[in-house]
A and B are shown apart, each in its own frame.
Chain A
Amino acid sequence: MGRRRRRRRVDPADAARALPEAIAALSQMLPAGPSPETFRRAKFDRPEAAPALWRLLFRVLSPQLADGASASFSLEAQVRSVKLALRTQGYPRRALAQLPDDGSQGGRELLLALAWLLARGPLPERLLTQNRVQLGDEMPVCECEALASPGPPAPSVEADGCVDIRHLQWLMGKLRFRWRNLMASQQEQCALLGKIHSYTRGCHSDRSLGHLSVTETELLRDPEGGRQLLRRLERENARLQAALQWRCRELVFWRWMDTVLGACPPEASQPTFLPRIPTPGAGELETLVRELQALQGELREAVEARRAAWEAGVRGRGPEWSAARTALREAVGRDLAALRRVCERGGGRSLAQLHGPHRLVRTEAGAPGGPGLRAPEVIEALRSREAHLEVVLRQLQGQCGQELARLVGAPPGPVWILPPGR
């Protein structure tokens, strides 16, 4: 156990300082954070606090936007966007939806919304992570953002009308072509990275890294860019420090928020029935249910067959048999414990997998090296993953083939000659 913190008597001056410090840390930690004075005004629902808080919420809820991009949205557009985002996340209070769209009111409600977001998850840390300055050449070791979806789906060009299946074939071909291009470009980039890393070996002040990354080399080639990078880095350092400060002072903030909430009039309960939200995942949900049901059906058949075969087979019954059975049951339970955890509610981390982007570092083969993942291990894991996925794909394709054969019918129908190599 760590040593317990000694409880000092709280100095009133200390206590008085704690809240402003907490709020100052908060506003520095968040992008586009308004001044602490704005927060204070918001508690008393002063109208001049509202626009700044709307803008803050917009920035916080749309992390995919670049730093300056939010300026291109009008305040009204930002207000509407914030309302939509909060509703999507399940914000419980109706008062926010009833605030005017011109962003002139509602400081206190917005403060509550901000606190709600902060209470639900590590929002500032997540924002910091998403927008951090990347100094190294990074490669993720997981498949979480395998091919990141490009944002809101573009409105389909051919909204109406039927589509020719040959168009689908053409699109598939185009996709295959793009994949080939990607592969080629990726190989080239790795070759260039390898060269840059080996040409700059020994240059880095940090011995564990040993060589420069592309970003670092680029900053040497282009001093102006280097200065910008340095400024961004310094800004990020300031925000990281504020985040650490915030952690120390957080409790005071929550006590204060309680008072803010207390100052709000309670909302009347709303019994009316209103139309359903078109949840984005609804279509996917149904597809998944169908898929899982099909899978379950397959499995049930297999299990029944095997169970019957087992029961029918003659096996010795005896004391050693039941002991063995219990042992096997336990072993299977342990085996699948991890899988069970993943499938259970709430998810959490994937099966003992490493996550996140890692900085690429070139070392001599066989060098002991310090902490860090080794490429051969990752390659192994990826190979087995690839093999598994190929199996799944083949299975699916096989199912389709069988189904189609069934539909076409047995001879004397047409004879299908499969393409060679199958």
Chain B
Amino acid sequence: MATAYVLLAGSSRRLVAELRDALDSCAERQRQLERSLRVCRRLLRAWEPAETLAPELTPGPETNEEAPSAACIPSPQDLKELELLTQALEKAVRVRKGISKAGEGDKAPSLKSGSIATSPATRASAPPSTSRRAGSRALETKPPRGIRQTRVPVKDLPERRLLSVGDQACMGQGAGATKPESGLRNEQIVLSAASQAPEAFTLKDKGILLQLPEAFRKAASWNSRLWAQLSSTQTSDSVDAVTTAKMQFLQKMQTTSGWPGSRLSATEVEAEVRHLQKACLLLRLRMGEELTADPKDWMQEYRCLLTLEELQAIMGQCLRRLRELCTAVVEQQLGPWPEGRFPRASLPCGGGADPIWSPQLLLYSSTQELQTLAALRLRVAMLHQQIHLEKVLMAELLPLVSKQEPLGPPWLALCRAVHSLLCEGGQHFLTILREDKPAD
């Protein structure tokens, strides 16, 4: 019984490979989604304040672009002191805000003694800063000014701290210590850190208060302007001159290469095949539409006929093109190149006609709408995959069934399995009734 289920090695390899491909691409998509989900879930929970501090203490791994502070690694004691310092600075910021709100003058001297020695992380006074921010969202100048006032006196503190740390005041220390300071300059980040507790920050309640840092805003708007510039089409003399120069260069390369004529590269063949696959699907769809249409009068009937004939002509063209490709592939000659196949690079979107991305928007108005959109995209992708698998299965399994003649139970079992795979997507099974010959 079991033997009938077994497939030939050749076709099974291909089938299994295709199915595994499909499974792998699903898995990859799932991984990406889960990564994104993790980030989103974390954002919607209460934001942890500790996380915002820790990275500032140690120089990050990407410091190869900044001045290398590799020589000195801050010792644990220094790290602890740095942490205390950072907390003190934050408290100083809050105190300063509270003070400047009340309209009083500098209190720098008083900060020196008190906060540094006292330990930690009391982050009180969340409300004043948040309400201040909420109120002043319209007047954006106020918060920065408030911070800049604190910056100057507070600057003394790290330097004093450094001197008293001792002989380990090297570059690394300096770099590490300035980080909390630069963090201060980044007003919003500190404010959001400061305003976090005792009530933790949640996006739901206080999301509206967020504001992007200035440096980032500038970089982002410049970025989208540059992209827009880059993707705008240019029409000018110089562009034509460049294109001509490129063509000439390619020609010369070809003629000096000693290889005859222009041959199709493997990449080009692949690209053509994919393109023709899409064309085939479109033709099939259009053909289906016309065949199922119900002409109401003779004009429509004739039009339908003409359309079908035109489709036939187009199909003929595609086939001719395919046959050309086949012969070209057969005639390819190999040079002293290494064997093997380079991993297939993903084709640029839209067939490569316009590979430059430009900033574009997709507007939606409700979560429901977004979900529908995403679900439909997935469904369409899934249908593409199912159609591809169906074609592969058809090509491999139908010949199998036709090869095996005897109508015994094993063969019927195979038919049933093949039917389920091909016609029901593997979901349903049919029942086979058989008239049994009496007692044999």
Residues on the A chain within 8 Å of B343, using CB: 64, 151-152
Whether B208 lies near A203 (C-beta < 8 A) is: yes
- Quick one: which of A153-207 are within 8 Å of B by CB? 153-154, 156, 158-169, 171-176, 178-179, 181-183, 185-196, 199-206
Residue contacts A-B, CB under 8 angstroms, 17 given: A97-B338, A146-B385, A147-B28, A149-B21, A163-B6, A163-B9, A165-B5, A167-B16, A188-B37, A205-B217, A303-B305, A339-B314, A342-B282, A373-B363, A397-B424, A400-B394, A400-B419
Q: Which of A119, A171, A348, A359 contacts B20 (CB 8 A)?
A: A171
Residues on the B chain within 8 Å of A203, using CB: 207-212
Interchain nearest-CB distance for A9 vs B (Å) = 17
Interface assignment of B136: CB less than 8 Å from any CB of chain A:
no
Interchain nearest-CB distance for B390 vs A (Å) = 5
Interface string of B231-274 (1 = CB under 8 A from A): 00011111001100111111011101111100111111111110
Interface string of A267-280 (1 = CB under 8 A from B): 11110011111111
Whether B269 lies near A279 (C-beta < 8 A) is: yes
Residues on the A chain within 8 Å of B270, using CB: 279-281
Interface assignment of B99: CB less than 8 Å from any CB of chain A:
no
Interface string of A340-358 (1 = CB under 8 A from B): 1011110111110101111
> Which 4 A/B pairs are nearest by Cβ-Cβ distance?
A90-B265, A224-B55, A372-B361, A194-B367
Residues on the B chain within 8 Å of A397, using CB: 390, 422-425
CB-CB under 8 A for A307 and B305, given A296-B319, A375-B363: yes
Interface assignment of A364: CB less than 8 Å from any CB of chain B:
yes
Closest B residue by C-beta to A119: B246
Whether A187 lies near B423 (C-beta < 8 A) is: no
| Interface segment, one of A13-21, A43-51, A241-249 | A241-249
| Size class of the contact patch on chain B | 35 or more
Closest B residue by C-beta to A300: B312
Q: How many A-B residue pairs have CB under 8 A?
A: 681
Interface assignment of A73: CB less than 8 Å from any CB of chain B:
no
- Quick one: which of B327-358 are within 8 Å of A by CB? 329-330, 332-338, 340-358
Interface string of B351-376 (1 = CB under 8 A from A): 11111111111111111011111111
- Quick one: which of B9-25 are within 8 Å of A by CB? 9, 12-13, 15-17, 19-25
Residues on the B chain within 8 Å of A322, using CB: none
Whether B258 lies near A343 (C-beta < 8 A) is: no
CB-CB under 8 A for A358 and B5, given A120-B250, A345-B321: no
9 extra A-B contacts, CB within 8 A, seeds A92-B253, A356-B350: A63-B345, A93-B253, A190-B367, A196-B40, A221-B43, A279-B266, A303-B309, A383-B376, A407-B401
Residue among B41, B305, B356, B365 with most chain A CB within 10 A: B365
Question: Measured between alpha carbons, how far is A247 from B309 in the docked complex, in Å?
Answer: 47
Closest B residue by C-beta to A324: B299
Whether B378 lies near A183 (C-beta < 8 A) is: yes
CB-CB under 8 A for A145 and B55, given A257-B249, A363-B363, A372-B360: no
Interface assignment of B439: CB less than 8 Å from any CB of chain A:
no
Residues on the A chain within 8 Å of B321, using CB: 345
Q: Which of B52, B301, B356, B366 contacts A125 (CB 8 A)?
A: B356
Interface string of A286-320 (1 = CB under 8 A from B): 11111111011011101100110010010100000
Whether B208 lies near A168 (C-beta < 8 A) is: no
Could you tell me the dominant secondary structure of chain B's interface residues?
A: helix
CB-CB under 8 A for A359 and B417, given A218-B43, A375-B373: no
Question: Measured between alpha carbons, how far is A386 from B306 in the docked complex, in Å?
Answer: 27
Interchain nearest-CB distance for B383 vs A (Å) = 4
Interchain nearest-CB distance for A339 vs B (Å) = 6
Whether A310 lies near B305 (C-beta < 8 A) is: yes
Whether B386 lies near A393 (C-beta < 8 A) is: yes
Interchain nearest-CB distance for A184 vs B (Å) = 10
Closest B residue by C-beta to A201: B208
Residues on the B chain within 8 Å of A267, using CB: 256-258
CB-CB under 8 A for A199 and B360, given A274-B335, A386-B383: no
Question: Measured between alpha carbons, how far is A339 from B286 in the docked complex, in Å?
Answer: 9
Question: Measured between alpha carbons, how far is A314 from B305 in the docked complex, in Å?
Answer: 16
Question: Measured between alpha carbons, how far is A151 from B279 in the docked complex, in Å?
Answer: 24
Whether B374 lies near A187 (C-beta < 8 A) is: yes
Question: Measured between alpha carbons, how far is A345 from B324 in the docked complex, in Å?
Answer: 11
CB-CB under 8 A for A194 and B417, given A182-B33, A247-B234, A296-B315: no
Could you tell me the dominant secondary structure of chain A's interface residues?
A: helix
Question: Measured between alpha carbons, how far is A342 from B282 in the docked complex, in Å?
Answer: 9
CB-CB under 8 A for A125 and B355, given A84-B340, A203-B208, A274-B333: yes
Q: How many chain A residues have a CB neighbour from B under 8 Å?
A: 245
Interchain nearest-CB distance for B86 vs A (Å) = 12
| Interface segment, one of B70-78, B104-112, B152-160, B427-435 | B427-435
Question: Measured between alpha carbons, how far is A366 from B40 in the docked complex, in Å?
Answer: 27
Interchain nearest-CB distance for A337 vs B (Å) = 10
Q: Which of B258, B390, B434 contacts A414 (CB 8 A)?
A: B434
Closest A residue by C-beta to B267: A89
Whether B249 lies near A189 (C-beta < 8 A) is: no
CB-CB under 8 A for A90 and B266, given A146-B381, A172-B19: yes
| Interface segment, one of B117-125, B141-149, B167-175, B220-228 | B220-228
Residues on the B chain within 8 Å of A40, using CB: none
Interface assignment of A8: CB less than 8 Å from any CB of chain B:
no
Closest B residue by C-beta to A307: B305
Question: Measured between alpha carbons, how far is A343 from B281 in the docked complex, in Å?
Answer: 11
Closest B residue by C-beta to A264: B256
CB-CB under 8 A for A378 and B362, given A223-B55, A223-B189, A296-B319: yes
Closest A residue by C-beta to B13: A156
Interface assignment of B102: CB less than 8 Å from any CB of chain A:
no
Residues on the B chain within 8 Å of A41, using CB: none
Residues on the A chain within 8 Å of B428, using CB: 419, 421-422
Question: Measured between alpha carbons, how far is A409 from B285 in the docked complex, in Å?
Answer: 31
CB-CB under 8 A for A87 and B337, given A142-B350, A365-B366, A400-B398: yes
